[in-house]
């Protein structure tokens, strides 16, 4: 359960830029990336905040420290992730499946919670708030293959396999592309 003192707040692009260092620190810690990854990713995250349909939510503790962050935007042709996923879908499932998923989707680009704050409902709360009111037909995301808390969350809220064991250019790890129709059903009480 999420603690009572956790607040979930939308961040404007300006607020996101102001808190970028904090958000990237969560990303690096949660993904167990090496030092220096944050500096490498910062320009990309700032560019993402300029994309059509971009939105962001943060989870804050009682004193305003960020515990988690989630953001995404409308996916479209010409974006690196879109083109990578399209290539994989066409190769493995055909044009029709690629067209179905990529015609009108929201890309859940990043969702991360500090490891010490995981397993308390923060990730699901961030995901639900981020996707609430998104006008797109589908939501898509990529996640490293293998068992994790993230996998359990995605399955619990109804994400299904779109493409498995996919290798993005420049990353040796296998990823899964998961998706589902929008809107999400209300959270179980």
Annotated catalytic residue: which of 27, 71, 73, 154? 154
Is 166 an active-site residue?
no
* Closest by CA position to 133, among listed 24, 57, 51: 57
Q: What is the pLDDT of residue 5?
A: 87
Structure tokens at 107: 């890309």
Q: What is the pLDDT of residue 162?
A: 97
pLDDT of 80 reads: 96
Q: What whole-number distance in Å separates Cα of residue 84 and Cα of residue 163?
A: 12
pTM passes above 0.85: yes
Residue 187 counted as domain residue: no
Question: Which residues, given as ranges, of the chain have pLDDT below 70?
Answer: 1-4, 189
Please give the pLDDT value at position 143. Answer: 95
Number of domain units in the chain: 1
Q: Domain span at residue 111?
A: 7-181
CB-CB contact of 126 with 111 (8 Å): yes
The predicted structure's pLDDT at residue 2: 56
- Please write the tens of the pLDDT for every residue from 122-136: 999 999 999 999 999
pLDDT of res. 102: 98
Does a structural domain hold residue 57? yes
Helix axes 149-156, 122-131, angle to 10 degrees: 50
Please list the alpha-helical segments (H only) found in 103-148: 122-131
Q: What is the CATH number of the domain that holds 160?
A: 3.40.630.30
Q: Is 104 within the bounds of a domain? A: yes
Whether 141 maps to a domain, the answer reads yes
The pLDDT score that the predictor gives to residue 3 is: 55
């Amino acid at each position: 359960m999420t603690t009572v003192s956790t607040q979930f707040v939308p961040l404007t692009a300006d607020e996101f830029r102001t808190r970028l260092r904090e958000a990237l620190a969560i990303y690096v810690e949660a993904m167990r990336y090496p030092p220096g990854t944050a500096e490498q990713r910062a320009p990309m995250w700032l560019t993402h905040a300029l994309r059509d349909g971009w939105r962001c939510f943060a989870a804050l503790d009682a004193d305003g420290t960020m515990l988690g962050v989630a953001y995404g935007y409308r996916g479209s042709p010409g974006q690196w992730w879109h083109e990578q996923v399209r290539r994989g879908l066409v190769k493995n499932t055909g044009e029709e499946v690629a067209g179905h998923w990529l015609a009108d989707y929201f890309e859940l680009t990043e969702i991360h919670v500090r490891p010490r704050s995981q397993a308390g409902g923060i990730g699901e709360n961030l995901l639900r708030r981020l996707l609430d009111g998104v006008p797109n037909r589908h939501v898509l995301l990529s996640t490293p293959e293998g068992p994790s808390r993230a996998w359990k969350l995605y399955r619990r809220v109804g994400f299904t396999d779109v493409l498995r064991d996919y290798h993005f250019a420049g990353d040796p790890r296998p990823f899964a592309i998961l998706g589902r129709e929008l809107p999400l059903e209300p959270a179980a009480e």
